[in-house]
């Protein structure tokens, strides 16, 4: 009897483990009713309750549920269980707050048990879904795609998702001959895979949509149309696939507009509107209005409608989408990497502190002079080595910040190429200049022996040289720079550099028109122990007589006044055979 009981107990435990694996498997397959079937055979506990909530969230992701109370309860739950974190992230993901969602998904990665590859892959699917809906493509997408590939080796369903997101990633790469080969080879790999294996229609809906997007990118409209129609057939029976249904109708509307079948294009646009995703409304609105403006209205020559629709689309809603989602997602990804570096630095500092305590105890004990000397020499060498490692990590941090600022500057440059409005181009150009001033700070800190401060004279000279070249005044302008060899920290150098960037840029842009021999003077004077004065003057036309500095509305002058206040200083601007700016500030 005891033997029979042990066998039964073993079979029950094995069935429970098998059922839990089946729940995860069915979630990955998006077969949520089957997932509930296996979940109902497991004993009720906090883990199964969380799994049940996760199934409900994903099942109702098409926008048919109202979960504000559940969301509030989840947020107040301070547990760090990985399944709970994935559940929280899923709520935010389907509400359209990708930044908050990514924070929970990233925090859950290191908490997932090493052997639970299914839960890890569910986490990976969610992260890839977030990156696939952002405009700024970064290395983090590729890194998490590689993570999904390593988790997918034991499952055809996981491999299917890997191929789908790989096609999404390749389709977002900037066009070039090399990257076109990558895109096509990725599509061929996916085609062979999906022709080999039978998969659920839920997964096939995603694949057919990506297949249609691939063919549309190469103007193979007939093949693309077939794929989008198949995606619609697979998706329309599943409310949680409404996002793919909406996008397929949008793509078909674009194809029909290009083919001149405008009645059918409008019909597809109306179908897309009726199947719009309920919660991630900003992104779907952008897709809808963009297609309506540039594909339908433009091709039907409804110029007024196209203009006003596009103007509204590119207005505050688009800016809000960029700021709250794309930039937030990329900032979180960068913060995640920086936090890992900072944790390593803190760990090194803690170890150094502990060793110092040990050395202090050994010093007080004074057991033996020779032993004490040997210990001190060893400890000093170890501390030096770890200090060098900390310095290396700090340099790496500055290097990464500099590179990220250069990437942002490049993105602004690419965006400005597509702008036609001169005011917008000017604003983007000025933004690039401010980013350049910030980037130069981190470049100098990276190159310095001292990674937390820099020589202010070298920084000012480099910044003015770059501005002179940028505005085409190299060799045409007499530049006079006087500055001490003082060492400023980054917190003071950054606002000071931005002030110089604004005032010198204004001189090049406005002061020297029709001036035969332009002269620009910049003096930084160390007056009292902690007090400095900055003088920037030119021999240009100066400001209009009725110009009121205090009521200036330009963003540049507002920024200068804000930065001066940040330094705790004052600013005076005078017209005296040109413009003379005098700024006083103190080092804290």
**Secondary structure (H, E, C), 52-95:** HHHHHHHHCCCCCCCCHHHHHHHHHCCCCCHHHHHHHHHHHHHC
Measured between alpha carbons, how far is residue 294 from residues 255, 422, 538 in Å?
Answer: 12, 21, 47
CA angle, residues 513, 514, 515, in degrees to nearest 5: 90
CB atoms within 10 A of CB 463: 22
Report the distance separating Cα 37 and Cα 55, nearest Å. Answer: 11
Which of 3.40.50.300, 1.25.40.10, 3.40.50.2300, 3.40.50.720 would CATH assign to domain 57-302?
A: 1.25.40.10
Q: Would the CATH topology of 57-302 be identical to that of 470-588?
A: no
Can you give the pLDDT of all 588 residues of the chain as single tens digits? 444 444 344 434 444 445 778 888 888 888 888 888 888 888 888 788 888 888 888 887 766 545 555 655 666 666 778 888 888 888 888 777 777 888 888 888 888 888 888 888 888 888 888 887 776 666 778 888 888 888 888 789 999 999 999 888 888 777 776 677 888 888 899 999 999 998 888 899 999 988 988 898 888 889 888 998 999 899 888 888 887 887 888 788 888 878 888 778 788 777 877 777 665 655 565 555 555 554 555 555 554 444 445 555 555 555 555 555 554 555 555 555 555 566 566 667 667 777 777 777 776 766 777 776 677 766 666 676 666 666 555 555 545 555 665 666 566 656 666 666 666 666 666 666 667 666 666 666 556 556 567 788 888 888 888 888 877 888 888 888 898 888 788 788 878 888 888 888 888 888 887 788 888 899 999 887 788 999 989 888 777 766 665 666 677 788 888 888 888 888 888 887 788 889 998 876
CB within 8 A of 82, min separation 6: which ones?
Answer: 108, 111, 112, 113, 119, 123
CA angle, residues 446, 449, 455, in degrees to nearest 5: 80
Report long-range pairs for 32-37 (Cβ below 8 Å, ≥24 apart): 32/58, 32/59, 32/240
Map out the domains of the chain as residue ranges. Answer: 1-43, 57-302, 315-451, 470-588
Report the distance separating Cα 492 and Cα 4, nearest Å. Answer: 77
User: Tokens 């998702």 identify what position?
Assistant: 161
pTM greater than 0.75 (yes/no): no
Which of 3.40.50.450, 3.30.565.10, 3.30.70.870, 1.20.1430.10 would CATH assign to domain 470-588?
A: 3.30.565.10
CB atoms within 10 A of CB 385: 10
User: Tokens 């949680």 identify what position?
Assistant: 240
CB atoms within 10 A of CB 181: 10
Please, is 369 exposed, middle or buried when counting C-beta atoms within 10 Å of its C-beta (0-12, 13-18, 19+)?
Answer: exposed
CB atoms within 10 A of CB 191: 15
* DSSP strand pairing (478-482 vs 519-526): parallel
Q: Are 354 and 379 in contact (CB under 8 A)?
A: no
Beta strand residue intervals within 472-578, DSSP E: 478-482, 487-489, 519-526, 531-538, 570-575
């Amino acid at each position: 009897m005891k033997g029979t009981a042990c066998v039964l107990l073993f079979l029950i435990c094995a069935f429970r483990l098998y059922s839990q694996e089946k729940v995860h498997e069915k979630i990955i397959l998006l077969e949520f009713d089957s997932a509930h079937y296996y979940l109902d055979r497991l004993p009720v506990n906090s883990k199964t309750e969380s799994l049940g909530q996760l199934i409900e969230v994903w099942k109702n992701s098409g926008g048919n549920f109202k979960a504000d109370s559940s969301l509030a309860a989840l947020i107040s739950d301070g547990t760090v269980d990985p399944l709970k974190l994935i559940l929280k992230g899923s709520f935010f993901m389907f509400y359209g707050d990708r930044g908050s969602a990514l924070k929970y998904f990233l925090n859950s990665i290191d908490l997932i048990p090493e052997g639970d590859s299914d839960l890890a892959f569910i986490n990976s699917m969610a992260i890839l879904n977030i990156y696939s809906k952002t405009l700024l493509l970064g290395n983090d997408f590729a890194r998490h795609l590689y993570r999904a590939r390593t988790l997918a080796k034991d499952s055809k369903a996981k491999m299917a998702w890997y191929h789908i997101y790989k096609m999404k990633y390749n389709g977002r790469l900037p066009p070039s001959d090399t990257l076109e080969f990558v895109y096509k080879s990725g599509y061929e790999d996916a085609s062979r895979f999906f022709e080999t294996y039978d998969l659920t229609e839920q997964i096939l809906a995603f694949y057919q949509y990506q297949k249609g997007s691939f063919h549309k990118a190469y103007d193979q409209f007939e093949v693309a149309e077939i794929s989008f129609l198949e995606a619609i057939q697979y998706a329309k029976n599943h409310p949680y696939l409404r996002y793919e249904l909406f996008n397929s109708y949008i793509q078909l509307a674009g194809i029909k507009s290009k083919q001149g079948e405008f009645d059918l294009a409008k019909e597809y646009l109306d179908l897309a509107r009726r199947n719009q995703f309920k919660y991630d409304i900003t992104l779907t609105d952008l897709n809808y209005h963009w297609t309506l403006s540039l594909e339908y209205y433009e091709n039907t020559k409804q110029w007024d409608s196209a203009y006003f629709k596009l103007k509204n689309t590119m207005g505050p809603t688009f800016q809000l989408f960029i700021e709250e989602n794309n930039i937030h997602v990329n900032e979180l990804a960068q913060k995640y990497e920086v936090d890992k570096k900072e944790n390593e630095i803190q760990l090194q500092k803690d170890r150094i502190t502990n060793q110092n305590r040990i050395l202090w105890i050994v010093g007080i004990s004074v057991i033996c002079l020779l032993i004490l000397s040997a210990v001190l020499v060893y400890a000093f060498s170890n501390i030096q080595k770890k200090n060098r490692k900390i310095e290396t990590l700090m340099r790496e941090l500055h290097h990464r910040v500099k590179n990220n600022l250069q990437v942002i500057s490049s993105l602004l440059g690419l965006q400005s190429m597509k702008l036609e409005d001169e005011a917008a181009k000017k604003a983007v150009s000025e933004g690039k200049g401010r980013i350049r001033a910030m980037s130069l700070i981190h470049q100098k800190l990276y190159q310095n022996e001292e990674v937390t401060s820099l020589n202010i004279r070298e920084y000012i000279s480099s910044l003015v040289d770059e501005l002179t070249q940028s505005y085409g005044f190299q060799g045409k302008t007499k530049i006079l720079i006087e500055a001490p060899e003082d060492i400023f920290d980054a917190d003071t150098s950054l606002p000071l550099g931005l002030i110089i960037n604004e005032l010198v840029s204004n001189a090049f842009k406005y002061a020297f028109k029709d001036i035969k021999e332009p002269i620009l003077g910049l003096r930084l004077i160390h007056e009292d122990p902690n007090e400095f004065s900055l003088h920037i003057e030119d021999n240009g036309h100066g400001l209009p007589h009725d110009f009121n500095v205090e009521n200036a509305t330009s963003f540049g002058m507002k920024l200068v006044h804000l930065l001066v206040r940040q330094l705790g200083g004052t600013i005076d601007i005078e017209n005296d055979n040109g413009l003379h700016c005098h700024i006083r500030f103190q080092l804290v």
